[in-house]
Amino acid sequence: MKTVSLISQVIIPLFILFAILYGCIKRVRVYDCFISGAKGGVGVVVRVFPYLLAIFVAVKAFQASGALEFAQELLLGLLKVFHVPIDVVSIALIKPLSGSASLGVFTNIVKTNGPDSLASLISAVIIGSAETTFYVLAVYLGAVGIKRTRYLVPVCVLADLVGIIIAIGIVRFFFHLG
């Protein structure tokens, strides 16, 4: 574990050092290059902003209105049939919507159930193997001004659902719990 986290600490500084030194060796004007590349950043963020705004407002409202809790209760009955811990519902619902909120929910699950419980392990695998789908969609589609997304959104939602089922199955298989 120590070596693994060491590698993750070292990778970005080394990469930047290498990129700059390699540029110097190839006689590239590194500083001017950096500036001209970075100029593009402003345009991208300005273009993405309205899309981000739309999705953030909708997601916050969905949480605050109690609609999220209702959806959780709706799914509870279903999960009881398959002997899946209830906490998994909250992580599965929040993960596609908000990255920071899902880390908060995860920390809470670990705190209440203990780090080696089935609920914590399943949530850990879901967090590690899923993405904040709607954020990714907003940013990437916004960056190039795509308006018609054809069947992308339903496919992503279905894929998220399959991903959660896979995560539950794999944790069951690996840890022989529940």
Partner 1 sequence: MNTVWVLLIVISVFFSFLNGRLDEFTKSIFEGAKSAVEVSLFLLGIVSLWLGITKIIEDSGLIHRLSGFFQYFVRRLFKNIPPDHPAITSITLNFLANLFGLGNAATPLGIKAMQDLKTLHPGGETITFEMMVFIVVNTASIQLIPFTVIGILADYGSKNPSAIVLPTLLATFLSALFALGILFAVRRILK
Joined together, the tokens standing for residue 146 give 């795509």
When binding is defined by CB under 8 A, the residue of 79, 86, 160, 178 that contacts partner 1 is: 160
Tokens 């308006």 label which residue? 147
State the CB neighbour count (10 A cutoff) for residue 44: 13
70-129 residues in contact with partner 1 (CB under 8 A) are 70, 103, 106-107, 110-111, 114-116, 120-121, 124-125, 127-129
When binding is defined by CB under 8 A, the residue of 1, 3, 77, 176 that contacts partner 1 is: 1
When binding is defined by CB under 8 A, the residue of 73, 74, 83, 149 that contacts partner 1 is: 149
Q: Which is nearer to partner 1, 15 or 76 (CB)?
A: 15
CA distance 138 to 43: 16
Joined together, the tokens standing for residue 44 give 């991208």
CA distance 152 to 159: 10
Q: How far is the CB of 99 from partner 1 (least distance, A)?
A: 9
Q: Which is nearer to partner 1, 82 or 147 (CB)?
A: 147
**Does residue 130 contact residue 106 with C-beta atoms inside 8 Å?**
no
